[in-house]
Amino acid sequence: MVRTYLLLAWTWTRAAAAYRASFAIMLLLGSVSAVLDLAVILVLFANTTTLAGFSREEVLLLYGAAALAFSVTDVLAGNLERISQHIRAGTLDTFLIRPAGAWLQIATDRFTPTRLGRVAQACLVLGYALGALDLDPGRLWMIPVMVACGAVIFASLWTLAGAVQFLLTDAPEVTSAFTYGGQQLTQYPFSVYGRDLVRGVTYVLPLAFVNWQPGLYVLGRDDPFGTPGFLRFLGPVAALSLALLAAFAWRQGLRRYRSTGS
| 210 neighbors 185 (Cβ within 8 angstroms) | no
Distance CA(250)–CA(156), nearest Å, equals 10
User: What is the chain's mean pLDDT, rounded?
Assistant: 85
Distance CA(107)–CA(148), nearest Å, equals 18
What pLDDT does residue 176 have?
Answer: 73
Distance CA(186)–CA(179), nearest Å, equals 11
SS3 259: coil
Distance CA(254)–CA(251), nearest Å, equals 5
Biggest CA-to-CA distance, the chain: 61
pLDDT band at 168 (very low <50, low <70, confident <90, very high): confident
What pLDDT does residue 213 have?
Answer: 96
Q: Is residue 98 in a domain?
A: yes
Q: Is residue 123 in a domain?
A: yes
SS3 262: coil
pLDDT digit string, tens, across residues 89-122: 777 888 888 777 888 888 887 777 667 778 888 9
Q: What is the DSSP letter of 49?
A: S
What pLDDT does residue 136 have?
Answer: 94
| 126 neighbors 61 (Cβ within 8 angstroms) | yes
Q: What is the DSSP letter of 18?
A: T
Q: Which residue has the higher pLDDT, 177 or 245?
A: 245
Q: Is the pLDDT reported for residue 14 higher than 70?
A: no
Compute the C-alpha angle 126/193/185, nearest 5°: 45
Q: Is residue 124 in a domain?
A: yes
pLDDT band at 6 (very low <50, low <70, confident <90, very high): low
Nearest to 222 by CA among 189, 186, 185, 197: 189
CB atoms within 10 A of CB 36: 8
Q: Is residue 261 in a domain?
A: no
Domain count, the chain: 1
Ordered DSSP codes for 151-209:
HHHHHHHHHHHHHHHHHHSS-HHHHHHHTHHHHHHTTS-GGGS-HHHHHHHHHTS-GGG
Distance CA(76)–CA(72), nearest Å, equals 6
pLDDT band at 155 (very low <50, low <70, confident <90, very high): very high
Q: Is the pLDDT reported for residue 163 higher than 90?
A: no
Compute the C-alpha angle 151/126/195, nearest 5°: 65
CB atoms within 10 A of CB 249: 18
Which amino acid would we find at residue 205?
Answer: L
pLDDT digit string, tens, across residues 17-75: 666 676 676 667 666 767 778 888 899 898 888 998 899 999 999 999 999 999 999 88
Q: Is residue 93 in a domain?
A: yes
Q: Is the pLDDT reported for residue 190 higher than 80?
A: yes
Q: Is the pLDDT reported for residue 2 higher than 80?
A: no
Distance CA(82)–CA(109), nearest Å, equals 9
Average pLDDT over residues 210-222: 95
* Domain housing 114: 2-256
Q: Is the pLDDT reported for residue 4 higher than 80?
A: no
What pLDDT does residue 63 have?
Answer: 95
What pLDDT does residue 87 have?
Answer: 79
CA 202 to chain centre: 16
What pLDDT does residue 172 have?
Answer: 63
What pLDDT does residue 180 have?
Answer: 81
What pLDDT does residue 258 have?
Answer: 75
What pLDDT does residue 120 have?
Answer: 86
Distance CA(77)–CA(109), nearest Å, equals 10
pLDDT band at 214 (very low <50, low <70, confident <90, very high): very high
What pLDDT does residue 247 have?
Answer: 94
